[in-house]
Amino acid sequence: MYGKRIDGRDFDEIRKIEAKIGIVKSANGSAMFKIGDTIAIAAVRGPRDLYPKFMQNPKSGILRCNYNMMSFSVDERIRPGPSRRSREISLVTENALMPAVNLEEFPNAVVDVFVEIIQADAGTRCAGICAASLALADAGIPMRDMVCAVSVGKVGGKIVADINKYEEDYEDGSTDMPVAFLPRRNEISLLQLDGGIKKEEIIKALEMARKSCEKILEVQRKALMEKYQNG
Ligand code: CDP
């Protein structure tokens, strides 16, 4: 049994979070989102014309996400360039953000979202989604809601919020469940599951994720307010 968390957190407690808007001057919108030792940076370019033209949608702009872990983001160097994992995470990031944006005003256009993980201690896809949502808002993209994401799961028989790498690798494995929420619409836009978990435990974990996302939203909101209060 996992009696006490390695970093002293309560089982439903997320790591310390920080968010900052407007950190990449060359982008139309950008943000940093940090949760514990996991740091994501997101930059948004667009809306701009989409090429090749056959990819254009005359009814709406499209969202295109690119997730990347930097070579130095973990102890063992990550091989640069796309991988199966980065392609999967780019796709789920896109799907998690899509319901929150409204690109109908931008036919034939693309909004590019670049997510770079500069430091990784698990939960990088969720940190990337939180950063990307802020960067989209910073870029002035019409949005229906923010997107808040956190990884919950089961470690040594306990349901925990915001799993770190130690917990993910715990003994003979853990269950990792990344979740993204649209808080105002009360919708889930990402739900993945890696490992075994019972039905009633999923419900408990989801409730933990919802509560964690409330805390994340508070930090996201504060970061946006700070930017606009400072002009
Ligand atoms: O990062 P996330 O939890 O969204 O995705 P994951 O594929 O479950 O990866 C979990 C963690 O494993 C990452 O956050 C990194 O800390 C680590 N990792 C690594 O050390 N080397 C890789 N090539 C990929 C992931």
Q: Which of 103, 100, 101, 109 is nearest to 185 (CA)?
A: 100
DSSP 66-107: EEEE-TTSSSSPPPSS--HHHHHHHHHHHHHHGGGB--TTST
The CATH T-level fold of domain 17-229 is Ribosomal Protein S5; domain 2 (3.30.230)
Full pLDDT tens readout for the chain, 231 residues: 788 999 999 999 999 999 999 999 999 999 999 999 999 999 999 999 999 999 999 999 999 999 999 999 999 999 999 999 999 999 999 999 999 999 999 999 999 999 999 999 999 999 999 999 999 999 999 999 999 999 999 999 999 999 999 999 998 789 999 999 999 999 999 999 999 999 999 999 999 999 999 999 999 999 999 988 876
Q: Is ligand 1 within 6 A of the CB of residue 118? A: no
State the Cα–Cα distance between residues 27 and 2, nearest whole angstrom: 44
Amino acid at residue number 168 = E
Spans of all domains in the chain: 17-229
Q: Is ligand 1 within 6 A of the CB of residue 168? A: yes
Please report the atom of ligand 1 found closest to the CA of residue 78: 23
